[in-house]
Amino acid sequence: MIFENLTVDTNELPKTSELSFEPLERKYLTVSLLADALFFVPLLIGSACLIFFNDNIATVWTNFVYLCGGILLLWSSAILITYKGFFKKKYALRSRDVIYKKGLFWQSRISIPFNRVQHAEIKQGPIDRMYSLYSLKIYTAGGHSSDLVIPGLAEDKAQGLKEFILKKTAEDAPRIK
């Protein structure tokens, strides 16, 4: 046993690490890549304009290569990270909690028991709308550090998850005040 003074053998408990996790919708990868582009394209255009219109910077092709090349390099690494990171984002439901894991270099796994959930809602951003994707937001009490967002869900899935969690939250609510 790992912790000898506990009355429960932790090896006998259900393990979150051995769950089978579900991936997010594939369309969410496109959404994330679009969000990347939405950041980098204006940056690229802006810097090109800067070189072109600013009199103090010579409008020569080397300057374009240095600045825009740098940005393109950053963009391509962002694309790589977004792509690789997408496959790390997964969620799982158990009978009494919801678990979400993510992260490429810094991996994390957060578990929220249903009897500690305050509220759950589904949200949709502007890019999400184009691909009819939703994200599920789960709120806990006091501050926002332990709130959880599961992005990239199809509508029926998001709605179903939300209803399931709210139903479970009501069922599991503490009986002794």
Partner 1 sequence: MHPVLSKYGQPSRQSRVAIGIVLVKFIKTSIRAAWPILLGLLIGRKNSDNFTQYLLIAVLVFAAFNLIGSIMTFFRFYFSLDESSILIDKGILKRTKINIPFERIQTVNLQQNLLHQMFGVASIEIDTAGANKSELTIDALKKEEAEAIRQFILEEKKQIQSQQDPLSRGLESENESEIEEKTLLQLSFNDLLKIGFSQNHLKSMVLLFAFAFSIINEISSTLGDDLVEEQLSGFEAYFLNSGWAMALGALILVFIISFIYSMISTILVNFELKMSIQGKGFKLFKGLINREEISINTSKVQILSWSDNPVRRLFRMHTIILAQAGSTEANQQHTKIKIPGAYLKQIKQIAWLIFPKPFVRKEQKHRVSKVLMYRIILVAGFIPSLIAAGVGYYFLDAKALFFLLWLPFLIFGTVLYYKKRSYEINDELLKNNKGVFGNHREMVQLYKVQAVKISQSWYQRRKKLANIHLYTAAGAIKIPFITLEKAEALENFVLYKVESNDVNWM
Q: Specify burial of residue 117 (Cβ count, 10 A radius: 0-12, 13-18, 19+).
A: buried
Judged by CB under 8 A, the residue of 67, 68, 78, 110 near partner 1 is: 110
8 vs 60 by CB, closer to partner 1: 8
How many residues are present in the chain?
177
Tell me how far apart the alpha carbons of residues 60 and 72 are, in angstroms, rounded to a whole number: 18
Residue 128 lies near partner 1 (rule: CB under 8 A): no
Q: How far is the CB of 32 from partner 1 (least distance, A)?
A: 21
Q: Are 83 and 129 in contact (CB under 8 A)?
A: no
Tell me how far apart the alpha carbons of residues 78 and 104 are, in angstroms, rounded to a whole number: 12
Bridge partners of residue 57, in order along the sequence: none
Residue 113 lies near partner 1 (rule: CB under 8 A): yes
Residue 20, token pair as written in the block: 């089978």
Hey, which bits of 5-55 come out as E strands?
Answer: 22-23
Residue 136 lies near partner 1 (rule: CB under 8 A): no
Residue 106 lies near partner 1 (rule: CB under 8 A): yes
Judged by CB under 8 A, the residue of 115, 122, 154, 159 near partner 1 is: 115
Q: How far is the CB of 100 from partner 1 (least distance, A)?
A: 10
Binding site for partner 1 (CB under 8 A): 2-8, 10-11, 13-17, 96-97, 103, 105-113, 115-116, 118, 139-143, 145-146, 148, 172, 174-177
